[in-house]
Amino acid sequence: MLIKHTRFPIRQMLTVGLLPGPLKNAYYRARGAIIGPNVSIGAGSVIVAREIKIGEGATIGFGTYLKARAVKIGRYARIGATSFIDAETITIGEDAKINEQVFVGGLSSPDSHLRIGARTIIMQHTFINVARPVTIGDDTGIGGRCSIFTHGSWQNMLDGYPVTFAPVTIGNNVWIPWQVFIMPGVTIGDGATIGAGSLVTREIPAGSLAVGSPAKVIRTAEEYPTRLDHGRRAEMLRGMLAEFGGYLEHEGLRVAWSQEAGFDRAEITGRKGRSHRLWVDYDGALPGEDIERAGVGERLGAVLLSLPPIGQELRQTLERQAGMWLDLAAKERGGVANPLGEELADFLKRFGVRFARTT
């Protein structure tokens, strides 16, 4: 063959791949890679690329292989064990997650580009073909055992059989559940939802619900998703937090709730007696003085979770006190990260609530 194609770099896996994490990072840095602090590349995992840039806190599980001309992985992104990603360029956004045993590759070309947005997740056993570009936006979920194809060919085109090569574009805040098959040339608009087990063969408009094989739109943006008033959203949030409190207690922590006018306060005590404080603001009623008096810096972690927007002054007050804030209205997070805030932010993901990092 004129061009050498290597499916798995066995030699690199058995040499570079077996280096301890710090030595592996040093090896890639010595070859020109830009690798941020607290990056973990698991045993047996290798990256074959001319350009490598990995942001702070990113992790790659064991036995994973990334191959591209350029690899860019955002801060706190996670790639699971034994995944295979082979493309011309690979771009993975901040806080994105690729689960175990995800396969990206197949028929390659100069247009084989993969872009995964911030806070997007791709679940296990999903197959993505990148003969043409695949672009997946921010805050999108791709369920397990899904298939995304950018080419369809086998029988001879010169004998009249159909052959298709076309990119796939999936927007922001899209939900594609398990075992969905997406055909070449499909565009799925922002905020759309696809029913599980569907076959998507054509464009799906933004904000719609489509199901079936082939998938057909059954609800449009005018009626999907359900519009919620403030009272209903506050009620839902209280239900989420009740479940969160039960989860913490199940894990051996003590949770004591108290209610004030327009906001709740929780004192959370760990196994070693260290305290955490959580404020939940439903109506913008939490006074900044309450935070100033709390002595946040003396605690293991303090967090403000707010349904209405958090003003800049209150954000700065928390940051001065080494506290963390989660703004549900702006879908943002900031301040000084702590275990309570990280646990809460991760727990809320199960309800589809995600926060963009501001720092």
Active-site annotation, residues: 151
Alpha carbon distances (Å) from 324 to 55, 265, 272, 306, 327? 21, 15, 21, 11, 10
Whole-angstrom distance, CA of residue 204 vs CA of residue 215: 9
What's the half-sphere exposure (Cβ side, CA atoms, 13 Å) at 261?
A: 2
Q: Which residues pair with 134 in a beta bridge?
A: 114, 168
Length of the chain in residues, anyone? 359
Helices 230-250 and 339-348: angle between axes, nearest 10 degrees: 120
